[in-house]
């Protein structure tokens, strides 16, 4: 791993539940790529783009609710994305952001993988957001007779006009379901408008939500043919990887990534990483309080153990000695079964063993603030690595050297550019609740 590590990401709200990092990181490992794929939590599309540019992210996937809103920040919109007014893949090409849509391909390829012919079949798409429009477009281009319905009829009409298909009022949902061969739902997690009694065994059902689908269980009970939402996720990711890397991935390897242990099993420990001054301790304490977790700080534990401040440890024993203490303290912290929030020193990721320990034993949150924001709110006298002529330049160098390590370790990035403890911790809690 080096400062040249390529960083890729997925953004949305929420995003911690996303399985995209599992697929991409599995492929990066298989292909020996110096690359990392991480989740980016953002309050809106603007913040997602800020993090994209600040961290020099090479490529980003976009999920709900940003697929349409993010377009205003893209420099070049490619054909399908332009037609659909929906971007789910962004590639940084020499500083220009290129927006693509791979969702439509993910839908049609999933049907092809399942051996289901689309041509001349009637298809009802429920939902006219980014995913719904993409599904409708893909099915339309493959010869299906597509109808779009939506809670707001005007939105369905607008989407249908763009694609060249029909729109219908959701008030007639029962009749619509009964009249169509294929039902595709792009509604939000746990939302379903289809009654089990309307389904017949000849129906083909596809739900965009691979987690929390309310439609698929009843479809299976009615013995409908079900196309996996994970196949949609996988196939659009294959197309995105090709755009990112300029080569096709091994699809089977990416599929294996979908079976990685879910993050929900690691919720008993939350670890915060990032540069000094990013807010790991201050936000960590608030987070621990709100979760009713124990709060631990590796730096504080080392200071208590050694009986001297970290600046003095660096002066007397050197950085290598401190890093060894840090590794010992980290290993010790994971020996406890008590739920806790662990604040880690900024350089803890330099040690590869530490990176593995953190990722294997906790949900790792990379708290990010730009060097410019950090320098304004940091007491330089308490930071041994900033005892230099140009502290800001030093921070920039540290970020450049470590961001690949942070990306390799973190499950999610959360911005602390504006030091709003309550807002940041509430965002983290919402993400944890979504997994």
From 215, 115, 141, select the one nearest 173 (Cα to Cα).
Answer: 215
CATH number, domain with residue 213: 3.40.50.720
- pLDDT tens digits for range 337-350: 789 999 999 999 99
29/151 same-domain check = no
Q: Within a domain: residue 205?
A: yes
CATH number, domain with residue 362: 3.40.50.300
The token duo for 46 is: 């603007």
Q: How many CB atoms lie within 10 A of CB 154?
A: 10
Q: Which residues pair with 36 in a beta bridge?
A: 7
164/243 same-domain check = no
Phi, psi of 167 (to 5 degrees): -125, 150
109/41 same-domain check = no
Query: What is the mean pLDDT of the segment spanning 207-215?
Result: 83
Q: How many CA atoms lie within 13 A of 97 on its CB side?
A: 21
Q: How many domains does the chain have?
A: 3
Question: How would you classify the pairing of strands 412-415 and 294-297?
Answer: unpaired
What pLDDT sits at residue 266?
Answer: 80
276/419 same-domain check = yes
**220: annotated active-site residue:** no
Confidence of residue 1 (pLDDT cuts 50, 70, 90): very low
- pLDDT tens digits for range 63-105: 989 999 999 999 999 999 999 999 999 999 999 999 999 999 9
Q: What percentage of the chain has pLDDT greater than the value 70?
A: 99
70/164 same-domain check = no
What pLDDT sits at residue 421?
Answer: 61
Length of the chain: 435
Query: What is the mean pLDDT of the segment spanning 311-316?
Result: 89
Q: Within a domain: residue 119?
A: yes
Q: Which domain holds residue 130?
A: 105-227
Q: Is it the case that residue 206 has pLDDT exceeding 70?
A: yes
- pLDDT tens digits for range 357-407: 999 999 999 999 999 999 988 887 778 778 888 999 999 999 999 999 999
From 357, 344, 362, select the one nearest 402 (Cα to Cα).
Answer: 344
Q: Within a domain: residue 82?
A: yes
Query: What is the mean pLDDT of the segment spanning 155-177?
Result: 97
What pLDDT sits at residue 383?
Answer: 83
87/144 same-domain check = no
Confidence of residue 419 (pLDDT cuts 50, 70, 90): low
Edge-to-edge strand list for the sheet holding 182-185: 166-169, 145-150, 122-126, 182-185, 204-207, 225-227
110/75 same-domain check = no
pTM over 0.85: yes
**Residues in CB range of 266: below 8 A, 6 or more apart:** 361, 362, 363
The catalytically annotated residue of 13, 19, 58, 67 is 67
What pLDDT sits at residue 3?
Answer: 61
From 131, 247, 145, select the one nearest 187 (Cα to Cα).
Answer: 131
Among 181, 209, 227, the domain boundary falls at: 227
Angle between helices 130-141 and 103-113 (to 10 degrees): 50
300/424 same-domain check = yes
Q: Which residues pair with 365 in a beta bridge?
A: 272, 412
Query: What is the mean pLDDT of the segment spanning 216-222?
Result: 93
Q: Within a domain: residue 1?
A: no
Distance CA 132, CA 208 (A): 9
């Amino acid at each position: 791993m080096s400062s040249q590590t390529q960083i890729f990401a997925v953004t949305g709200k929420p995003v911690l539940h996303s399985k995209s990092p599992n697929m991409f990181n599995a492929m990066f490992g298989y292909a020996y790529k110096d690359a990392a794929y991480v989740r980016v939590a953002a309050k809106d599309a603007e913040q997602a783009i800020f993090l994209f540019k600040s961290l020099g992210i090479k490529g980003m996937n976009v999920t709900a609710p940003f697929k349409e809103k993010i377009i205003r920040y893209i420099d070049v919109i490619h054909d399908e994305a332009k037609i659909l007014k929906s971007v789910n893949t962004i590639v940084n090409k020499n500083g220009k952001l290129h927006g693509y849509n791979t969702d439509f391909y993910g839908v049609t390829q999933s049907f092809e993988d399942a051996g289901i012919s689309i041509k001349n079949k009637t298809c009802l798409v429920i939902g006219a957001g980014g995913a719904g429009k993409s599904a409708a477009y893909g099915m339309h281009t493959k010869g299906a007779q597509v109808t779009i319905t939506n809670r707001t009829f005007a939105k369905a009409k607008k989407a249908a006009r763009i694609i060249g298909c029909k729109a219908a009022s959701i008030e007639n949902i029962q009749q619509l379901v009964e009249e169509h061969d294929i039902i595709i739902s792009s509604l939000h997690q746990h939302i379903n408008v289809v009654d089990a009694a309307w389904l017949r065994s000849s129906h083909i059902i596809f739900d965009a939500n691979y987690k929390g689908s309310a439609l698929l269980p009843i479809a299976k009970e009615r013995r409908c043919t079900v196309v996996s939402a994970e196949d949609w996720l996988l196939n659009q990711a294959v197309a995105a990887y090709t755009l990112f890397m300029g080569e096709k991935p091994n699809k089977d390897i990416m599929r294996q990534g979908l079976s990685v242990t879910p993050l929900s099993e690691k919720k008993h420990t939350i670890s915060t990483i990032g540069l000094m001054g990013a807010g790991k301790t201050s936000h960590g304490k608030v987070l621990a309080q709100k979760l009713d977790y124990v709060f631990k700080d590796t730096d504080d534990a080392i200071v208590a153990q050694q009986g001297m401040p970290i600046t003095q440890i660096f002066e007397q024993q050197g950085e290598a000695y401190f890093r060894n203490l840090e590794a010992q303290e980290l290993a010790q912290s994971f020996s406890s079964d008590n739920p806790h929030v662990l604040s880690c020193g900024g350089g803890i990721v330099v040690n590869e063993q530490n990176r593995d320990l953190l990722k294997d034993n906790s949900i790792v949150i990379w708290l990010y603030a730009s060097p410019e924001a950090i320098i304004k709110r940091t007491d330089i006298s308490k930071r041994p690595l900033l005892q230099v002529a140009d502290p800001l330049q030093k921070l920039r160098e540290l970020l450049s050297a470590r961001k690949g390590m942070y990306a390799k370790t973190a499950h999610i990035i959360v911005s602390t550019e504006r030091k709003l403890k309550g807002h940041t911790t509430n965002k983290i809690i919402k993400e944890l609740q979504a997994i």
